[in-house]
A and B are shown apart, each in its own frame.
Chain A
Amino acid sequence: MARSRLSAWLVTLPPFAWIALFLFTPYCLLFCYSFWSLDAGQQVVHHLTLANYLHLLQTPLYLTVILRSMRIAFSVVLLSLLIGYPLACFLVFQAGKYRRILYQAVIIPLWISYLVRAYAWKVIFGNEGVMNTLLLWCHATRHPLGFLLYSPFAVIVTLTHIYVPFVVLPVVAALEKIPPELLESSSDLGATAWQTFTRVILPLSLPGVLSGATFAFLLSFGDFLAPLLLGGPSSVMIANIVANLFGADYNWPLGAAVAVLILVMVLVILTITQRLERRWRVA
């Protein structure tokens, strides 16, 4: 009895220690920093103050960037769902013997470095990139299209490309869980294929859609590299601000305050989606 208890402790201790050391401690530090301030000599003053948060609220720039980040993240979610949901449906219901290979095709891009995939879009969207060369060649445009690169458009396309698998996988999992008899039963009771989709498949796949959308939203919302590499000044996102405050500006307290704000928003979104998911998950 005592021994099994001891071994249970030994098994659970490493992950606990890992989380405490590398997750909980940094968050605590971050939280503390957000209430400290800088003196004239850029030294951290260890006095509790709400100045950082007040500054955040009083400077419209932060709100603008946060709203822009949300807008971009939301667009990514919409696009990912538009691409990912039909793909997941095809994979589960239609692909037949090609199912495994298609599934792999969805997963394999996840093994390739984020940087490589982001740079690939740079090559595609650049002034002398694949897209503009093609458009010029077939006389669809006279001058290279400038808005392709260094714009929210480029950021959205890149993030969608990167996060589509995160939408496809949970939706596939949800669709696979639908027993085939339910679909047979629906058509047996007189429903057309479309009615079966809207009344049975779609509602039963909503938990998967929600968790996929949450993944895509949160990962896009906090993304830092895509706006850095492909977005111009018009598509700076909140993570870039944090990076700048910690890096170039060396203002850790203000950076920490922005980070805490993001963290709180993420937690709120997660709580809401988890509640919804629990309500939608049936049987």
Chain B
Amino acid sequence: MSNFLRLENVSKRFGEHTVLASISLEVERGEFLTLLGESGSGKTTLLRILAGFEEATGGRIFLEDEQLDALPPHRRPIHTVFQSYALFPHMSVFDNVAYGLRVRGCARDEMTARVEEALKKVHMEGFSKHFPRQISGGQKQRVALARALVNRPRLLLLDEPLSALDANLRFEMQRELKVLQREVGITFIFVTHDQSEALAISDRVVLLRHGKVEQCGTPRSIYSTPRTAYSASFLGKSNLVQGTVLDGVADCADFSVPVNVADGAVTFSLRPECIAPVTETAQAGEQLVPFVAEVVAEQFHGADSLLTLRCASGTELSARVAGPRGNGGWFAFRAQDLVPLEQE
């Protein structure tokens, strides 16, 4: 069984400090994979090891069964888009994009054609004579993308490429990146600390924490079934509910829920949008868990509001509902939305 990219027990230590602890990961061809994590989670180090800028302390990396570890960066069929864009300031946009082809001795006609095609792909065809200082951040980002893609790498690494852009532009670039990735069919590994960006853009998310893989899966699966309390709260907002399970029923002070977990104390994750006023969630065949709560705060967000509910026992829960909700009353959630978390 050969995967496109395979990491086997890759680790990195700086002296006593472990940055990456035995990461094993398999990536499919054409996948858009995101390495998500806080600063210090090791996501950038992992990317730099893939690019060849850092050497792993242990483990092996294979790209289509070819071992990468020993290759210097300039011999790897992998390109990087840097957070700072890293465009060459003394070269025009054209020369920047042509750089990789030039150093490999590409013929002039082919080079011109490929550079123009790459610039077209990122909607920068009119800018080939401009210099980096003459174009905006978003445009630099596009040029950096074209500069990497023009060489047709087998793997493209993107190190927080959108973090320097303002919110609207970032949103637009996320969409374009995703479309572009489909179009060129190149495997992307994208690094970000922004969970909403990770969810919006990726086929698969790898959540890193302290140099270990905390959870890995599609954005939907990782969001709806977080494995740990850290996953649950890092990816969006979540209520962490404490409960005691006895004979398949979780007793959580304000409500009892049938669950499929072994007996003992368990922490559950309950997403705010899974809680709704009772009348709205009543649907045939679904097992609802009702409870009474008063609304202690309401934060209006336009499309919906975030309510802070206080249950009878004093537990506070966040609920995301559309429209104003008065002072309180009956609320409910579906039993399957209460996700048991692993103990840490």
Are A and B genuine complex partners? yes
B90 with A185: CB separation less than 8 A: no
Specify which chain A residues have a CB less than 8 angstroms from the CB of B80 in the assembled complex: 184-185, 188
Complexed CA–CA distance, A190 and B88 (Å):
15
B74 with A188: CB separation less than 8 A: yes
B100 with A189: CB separation less than 8 A: yes
A184 with B132: CB separation less than 8 A: no
B84 with A179: CB separation less than 8 A: yes
Specify which chain A residues have a CB less than 8 angstroms from the CB of B100 in the assembled complex: 189-191
Q: Which of A91-99, A131-139, A199-207 lies at the interface?
A: A199-207
B79 with A189: CB separation less than 8 A: yes
Specify which chain B residues have a CB less than 8 angstroms from the CB of A185 in the assembled complex: 80, 82, 86, 88
The 8 Å CB contact of A182, one of B88, B131, B133, B151, is B88
Give min CB distance, B100 to chain A, whole Å: 4
Most buried by B among A184, A204, A280: A184
B73 with A188: CB separation less than 8 A: yes
Complexed CA–CA distance, A97 and B289 (Å):
64
Q: Mark A39-58, 1 if CB is under 8 A from B, else 0.
A: 00000000000000000000
Specify which chain A residues have a CB less than 8 angstroms from the CB of B90 in the assembled complex: 203-204, 280, 282-283
Given A186-B99, A190-B103, A191-B74, A282 and B86 touching (CB < 8 A)? Answer: no
**B285 interface hit (Cβ, 8 Å):** no
Complexed CA–CA distance, A190 and B72 (Å):
10
**B147 interface hit (Cβ, 8 Å):** yes
Interface size on B, residues (CB 8 A): 27
A191 with B79: CB separation less than 8 A: no
**B264 interface hit (Cβ, 8 Å):** no
Q: Mark A171-198, 1 if CB is under 8 A from B, else 0.
A: 0000000010110111111111001000
B73 with A187: CB separation less than 8 A: yes
Specify which chain B residues have a CB less than 8 angstroms from the CB of A204 in the assembled complex: 89-90
Specify which chain B residues have a CB less than 8 angstroms from the CB of A188 in the assembled complex: 51-53, 73-74, 78-80
The 8 Å CB contact of B74, one of A181, A187, A200, A283, is A187
Given A188-B51, A188-B74, A189-B79, A200 and B88 touching (CB < 8 A)? Answer: yes
Specify which chain B residues have a CB less than 8 angstroms from the CB of A184 in the assembled complex: 51, 53, 73, 80, 82, 86
**B301 interface hit (Cβ, 8 Å):** no
Complexed CA–CA distance, A191 and B74 (Å):
6
Complexed CA–CA distance, A15 and B73 (Å):
53
Specify which chain A residues have a CB less than 8 angstroms from the CB of B84 in the assembled complex: 179, 181
Which residues 70-124 in B have Cβ within 8 Å of A in the complex?
72-75, 78-80, 82, 84, 86, 88-90, 99-100, 102-104
Give min CB distance, A125 to chain B, whole Å: 42
28 A-B contacts, Cβ less than 8 Å apart?
Answer: A179-B84, A181-B86, A182-B86, A184-B51, A184-B53, A184-B73, A184-B80, A185-B80, A186-B88, A187-B72, A187-B74, A188-B51, A188-B73, A188-B79, A189-B74, A189-B79, A189-B99, A189-B100, A190-B75, A190-B100, A190-B104, A191-B99, A203-B90, A280-B90, A282-B90, A282-B131, A283-B89, A283-B133
Extra contacts, 7 of them, besides A189-B74, A283-B89 (Cβ < 8 A), are A184-B53, A186-B99, A189-B147, A204-B89, A280-B90, A282-B90, A283-B133
